[in-house]
Every structure is written in C-alpha cells, then in structure tokens.
Amino acid sequence: MANVSIRNLQVRLGANRVIESLDLDVAAGEFIVLLGPSGCGKSTLLHSIAGLNDAAGGSIHIGGRDMTWADPKDRGIALVFQSYALYPTMNVEANMSFGLRIGGTPKAEIARRVARAAEMLQLGPLLKRKPAELSGGQRQRVAIGRAIVREAGVFLFDEPLSNLDAKLRTELRRELKRLHARLGATMIYVTHDQVEAMTLADRMAVMQGGAIRQFDTPDAVYRAPENLFVATFLGSPGMNLFPGRLDTGGAAAGGAWFLNDQLTLDVSRYPFRQPPVHGQSVVLGVRPEDVDAGSAGTPGSYRAPVTLVEAMGAHRVLWHDFHGCEVAAIVPDDRAGGAFTLRPERISLFDEATKQRL
C-alpha cells in the first residue's frame, strides 16, 4: 500500500505538451478515478505514473520514494490494460507467474500468490486455459490477477471495462469495488464513464486538456462543481444552464438576486466565496433532479410547455421549452408538467467570464 505524490508534472508526446504542471496527491489505500473526455490526458497521466512515458519535468513519488526516472518494473506498480494485454501463447497460470519467474521469485512463493489471486477472482478452473479460450470478462479477471500477484503498492487501471458489454461491465465494476475493500491497495482508475467514476471513486479527478479541473469526493464534485466544465461534464441529462446577472442593489444588506429576462431567483443564501458584485454576469446551473416540475398555475412557477418526455422506468425526464431554451426536469411519477420551479438551495453559480464557481 503506497501513496502517490505528483508535483509539477510535464509530459510531452512528440512535440505536443500533453500535461503541464500537474499536481496530484493520492493517499495510501485510496481509490482515485481520473475522469474526462477523450484526449484530456488521463491515460497519459496514468502511463506516466507507470513509467511508460518519460516525464519532461516535475516529479513522481510513489511510497515516499522518488520514482521519476525509475523503470516501470521498479516502481512497485501494476497496470491493467484496456485490451488486457495477456500473453496469448501462455495459459492463465503462466500469464500470471511469468513476470515473477523472470524476477527470480521462489517457486513456492509464486504458487502461493497465484493461488491467492485465483481464489479472489474465481480463476481456479481456468488456470490451464489459454487467453484465446476465454471470454472477455474472464480475460479481464486474468489481467487483474496478473496485477495482484505482483503485490504492488499501487494498482493502475486503464479503462479496463471499456471492451466489455454493459451487463458484464456493471458486474465487474462491483467486483472491483469489493476487491479494493479486500486488498486495501491504492488504486488509480482511468475512465470516461461517469457511472463507473461515481460508484468506484473515493475521490475523483475530472480532467480536461491535460489539467485537473476538480479533485474531490464524487458527492462534492457532483453537487458543488468548481467550474462550468465539471458542471456540464457530469450528470445525465446535463445541468440546466441559465445566463444572467446578479443584482445586489435594492435588497437587504447581504442579499442578492439572480435575474435574466425570463426568470428571477433569490440567491441571498447562496454560499458566495467572495461578496457578490452587482451586475456581474453569471451563469446559473441547476441539475434536472433539482428542478421541480408541476402543472401550470402553481404559484411561483415558470410556464414552459413540455416538448419531449423520456420514460426511464424508475423516473421520467420532461423536456421543457422555456422561451427558446431547453430545460430538463426529472420527475418520479406520471405528472404532465407544464411549469417548473427552481430550488435556490440546490443551485450553482458560475462567473461567466472565468467559468469558475462563485
């Protein structure tokens, strides 16, 4: 179990600066998820931690030791690849033990580790099979098994579930969570899938353009996104956004209102970090589940005809047309909708220019 500490990391692929001055601290035993769209640099960061990319600057410490220039095999890490990367001509047992045999680990120790990994992942009946004779989920378990036998301090996962079908993905996701609880190892997991990120992470880092935009617990990232990118990236359907401005004049000291041409909201109780500036251009964000949809005529609601209804089984999504903007609301029952209200305690405000949370 080792912690990971990255300072001012710079990574270049060819002539491109993919990552610039990135800092990250992962405590021992934590399950960290790197989440972001394609090309945001999350896989590059993972490969840099593993030592497969050379760092152009900065430092990487694993378990308190400087590993910036260490070979991948000396870093005390294990990596599970998206395509499993199993040695095709060796059977499962050989795949798991090959690295250990080359490294000179005694046979008894190898056998013990393989048996332990096989028991954890139910690989017992598959030990003599070759990868070509296994299904996708079984292959992924073998890849994880190969990582476990290394008894590494840090486990790295590079989108390991992307090549599996949806049902298998949810199954293995839960197994991974249980595995983490059982092993207690530090795990860094890369994915573009929000559901995986939210369910697996102790903390998650949302990345964009080679930088971490927010690094916090899933709850915090979801409820209090730090900037517009994080706000719109998470959540399905995405956060409803209303551009407008702040009005602090004419109200009691400390009071504030959000206005635009279509709606007005009292945001006095919003936890501003700096005192609100009158006239500041802001964007108001509300998640669909925090939009109360009701029938037209409810006092304080805004009228908006429903243009589309998506039935999701457990809930429904009502899409409203609000003066040309689309507003989504999640409702638990059959109501027809036609108007909506916003809950001021569940909103986020962002400065329009800096895109940062107010």
d(CA 135, CA 263): 55
**Which residue lies nearer to other proteins by CB, 102 or 166?**
102
Tokens for 53, please give them. Answer: 């990319």
Tokens for 56, please give them. Answer: 């152009």
Q: How far is CA 322 from CA 241, 289, 328, 356, in A?
A: 12, 17, 10, 25
**Which residue lies nearer to other proteins by CB, 16 or 135?**
135
**Which residue lies nearer to other proteins by CB, 150 or 316?**
150
**Which residue lies nearer to other proteins by CB, 83 or 354?**
83
CB of 230 to other proteins, least distance (A): 12
Tokens for 179, please give them. Answer: 């595995």
CB of 54 to other proteins, least distance (A): 8
d(CA 218, CA 203): 6
CB of 245 to other proteins, least distance (A): 26
The DSSP code sequence of 242-253 is: EEEEEE-TTSST
CB of 14 to other proteins, least distance (A): 14
Q: Which amino acid is at 14?
A: G
d(CA 196, CA 204): 11
Count of alpha carbons within 13 angstroms of residue 202, beta-carbon side: 16
**Which residue lies nearer to other proteins by CB, 5 or 260?**
5
The DSSP code sequence of 271-314 is: --SSPPPTT-EEEEEE-GGGEEEE-TT-TT-EE--EEEEEE-SS
**CB–CB of 41/18 below 8 Å?**
yes
CB of 57 to other proteins, least distance (A): 12
CB of 267 to other proteins, least distance (A): 22
**CB–CB of 306/335 below 8 Å?**
no
Which residues contribute to the site for other proteins (CB under 8 A)?
3, 5, 7, 23-25, 47, 50-52, 59, 61, 64-66, 68-74, 77-79, 81-83, 85-90, 98-99, 102-103, 129-130, 132-135, 146, 150, 203, 205, 212, 214-216, 226
**Which residue lies nearer to other proteins by CB, 130 or 177?**
130
**Which residue lies nearer to other proteins by CB, 16 or 89?**
89
CB of 91 to other proteins, least distance (A): 11
